[in-house]
Amino acid sequence: MVKRARIRQPKDESIRCIPLTQGQKAVVDAEDYEFLMQWNWLAKWDDGTQSYYARRRVQKLDGLEATHLGMHNALMGAFNGTIVDHIDGDTLNMRKSNLRIATHGQNAWNHPTRRDNRLGVKGVR
């Protein structure tokens, strides 16, 4: 059963918002809205990126275990470890113009400088 909080949609009809848990919302292209609204999505905090990700619970084929599928992976058809990068760094901006398949290196460029970095330069140890 799909249950979700009510959410006010933006006036711009090319985008829609999908409610998540923890008072968060994901912004998606209008063409993807109905597809994504089939499921309940949750907001999962990631300490590494200091941001929320939209995820849903998925039952594995064995029926015993469950895993989580990221909304960005579902939109891009990226499974089995393929990396989807949020170009602007906003992990709840799920518009396809903001998503790309990326390598680990490409994805790392969006990460801010680590808090324990004394030089203020990325990639230096």
Maximal CA-CA distance, the chain:
51
How far apart are the C-alpha atoms of 118 and 97, rounded to whole Å?
Answer: 35
The amino acid at 109: W
- Backbone dihedral region for residue 89 (phi beyond 0: left; psi -120 to 50: alpha; all else: beta): left
Thinking of the domain 15-107, which architecture would CATH place it in?
Alpha-Beta Complex (3.90)
pTM of the model: 0.80
Q: Where are the beta strands (DSSP E) in 65-109?
A: 66-70, 83-86, 99-102
Give the alpha-carbon dihedral of 115, 118, 124, 125, to 10 degrees.
-90
How far apart are the C-alpha atoms of 16 and 20, rounded to whole Å?
Answer: 13
Query: How far, in whole angstroms, is CA 89 from its chain's centroid?
Result: 10
- Pick the closest to residue 15 from 39, 32, 3 (CA basis): 32
pLDDT digits (tens, 9 = 90+) for 63-120: 777 888 999 999 999 887 788 999 898 999 999 999 999 887 777 776 666 667 777 7
pLDDT digits (tens, 9 = 90+) for 20-64: 999 999 999 999 999 999 999 999 999 888 899 999 998 877 777
Residue spans of the domains in the chain: they are 15-107
How far apart are the C-alpha atoms of 43 and 54, rounded to whole Å?
Answer: 5
